[in-house]
Structure 1
Amino acid sequence: MTKQRPQDAYTNSIESPTYQSASYYFNNADHVKDGLHNRSVPAGRYGRYSNPTWIEVENKLSELSGAESSLVFASGMAAHVTAFLALLEAGDEVVLPSESYRQVRNVFHHILPKFGVVVHEFSIRDSEAFIENVAALRGRIKLVHLEMPSSPHMYLIDVARVRAAVGPDVILTLDSSFSPPPNYYALQWGVDLVLFSATKYLSGHGDIVAGVASGREELIEKLRWYRDTTGPIVDGNTAFLLRRSLYTLQLRMERVNAMGLEVARFLEGHPAVERVYYNGLESHPHFKLAQQYLNGFGGVITFELRMSEEQTAEVVDRLRVPFMASNFGAPHTLIEQSTFFTYFEYSDDELVSIGVPRGTVRLALGYSNEVADIIKDLDQALSHVLSGAGGSAAS
């Protein structure tokens, strides 16, 4: 008796169905040959290797970044680690900025050396010095990993000059989580592989964890083999949610770009604020690079208060609009006192080395909030502590 296989009820749906299957069947030996061996017809094999919903969102991500190919991953860190394992071998030398995301630095300093990779780290605070240091290693390095902008200071890198300094054969990878398209198109500036935490702006709803790698087909295929083997994959529903989110990416970025500039200007003019790090402000040390590379500056603002760590905590505690949480790109505004959240394990000397004073705050604007409400809330909290109602302000 012939088995009856389910068919899609409708074939004219505007939105593709979400595939959740762990396995895919074949009708007969010929189907196996066509679908699996020579791949002359589209066919799934097993849920760790492929999923039609993945494929659709990966195609959209490639179109978004102008990439030849893309892969989705279980997280941004999964995309990073898979890329480095796929592209590096024992004896290879690599470069990364000192200001890279701390977990990426952990990968470079505590994981990759176990496999014989030699790591060089240079600060990007001085862009010229960074390029000189990289150029001095020309002929030795296999890969340069960049992050742009970096957190929390939103530092930038002259990517085109880095490419010129290392030559055409060195692989350039770049974490663009803080500056997705349309704010920045990394692959247009000599980058070979752009990486994203899709948890952030790409998904934009604060409800999924995912990662993306986009770039040259040759490199993506190397990553694919490692993803197939080690399994850092997303499920079909997560891929569907990411696909849905991409429809509104440009609208969301336009809104947070406008919000970010307005709030950053307010903070820069407040007497309680020592310094603001936002690429759209002329006071940012890399403002000229921002004008060259970025089409928008996003919704993440880092600022330093003229206050002690305890007084800074009072300010954050008094805020009512933001959630106290670590993330960005979500609908809701989030805030974190950097030395309590990301760097709570760092010593004073370590904080000085990375340029994060005890009064540092990172604000991530959410597009569902109103700028006027955010500014009013910030003003009441800052003014309360500055006035001495919450303690004596630091000189």
Structure 2
Amino acid sequence: MTDATVLLPVDGDLRTHRVGEPGPWRKPQRPIESRIAYAAAHVVPRPLGDTSPGAPADLDWDTTLAYRHELWSYGLGVADAMDTAQRGMGLDWPATRELICRSGREAATVGGLLACGAGTDQLDPADVPAGARGLAVIADAYREQIEVVREAGANVILMASRALANAATTPADYLSVYGTLLAEADRPVILHWLGEMFDPALRGYWGDRDIARATATFQELIATHADKIDGVKVSLLDADHEVALRRALPTGVRLYTGDDFNYPELIVGDGFPGRDHSDALLGIFAAIYPAASTALQHLDLGETDRASEILESTRALGRHIFAAPTYYYKTGIAFLSWLNGHQAGFTMVGGLAAGRSVAHLCEVFALADRAGLLTDPHLAAHRMRTFLAVNGVG
């Protein structure tokens, strides 16, 4: 067996898979202009750190920050301290605070675009009192995190709050908390609507389980505070809903797609006057960043068909990584990071490396190869063989 081949399990048999060459990806020679694009980066634990569920996050800072520099080198912005970084799934607030501060310092050294999530995960939702007092506690928690993001020099992403989802009883409660925070904002922020497929604790966000009624509340908030909103990130995996919302946004408010299923057509656009495309704030971009950057460079040149072709070639990988249960998508992103040599081991805080099956990760490997996203074929094959052997395959 040569170094770039692997015996992969397929339909109950082991079949030889030869890893192909990476795609014709290139780093930009000038800033990308046609779209604003953030890749939501993951974090890497120390190899000998405690990754037990419930243990405080113990990060390998050099490796974690090197990954962010890799993304910046491809002309992408970094969205940090988001759900991709395991907020609410192993990454606690003390580690998140340090991550934001360190990422801010690193971004300043290269002029990298950085936006960070501000939420309320220093609170236990069960401990938040009911009524107006509880809403005030939640607003104060947001303020604490917003201040950390601002001091780091990053743009603020107002993340969805489990505490608010638990405490709010009406849409007006959401409008009150968010309205207060937006009125206080010293510069425009990004609003993040994260669907329950990413976090079941956010079911019924904006005060209603009916998406149409929840969207009406969301739009009311945006219309009232449009001057304080740079854009909205919507992660509902519903392209039709995103397009309708995008076309209805006030002038000057961007739609940052969070749709890791349908991003190719949403980013390339549909020709609708004035509202023909979405910008991007995507977890999948942390996995496909060489291809994503190259596609955006083609968009800058007006080469829409080539950009669409490149993004389309990654869609199957995105759909597989984000397949249900979607909240375990982070495992696939970390696995690809390991295969490509960006971290020493396939480990994740909170033990989340066990979040996907061996069969699922074998398909991640095969689809990444098909998309030309295994950047060192021999290393990827070696690591895949090691992974299979450790898991008793072969």
TM-score for the superposition, normalised by structure 1: 0.32
| Higher relative contact order, chain-length normalized (CA < 8 Å, sep 6+) | 2
Q: Which has more helix, going by share of residues?
A: 2
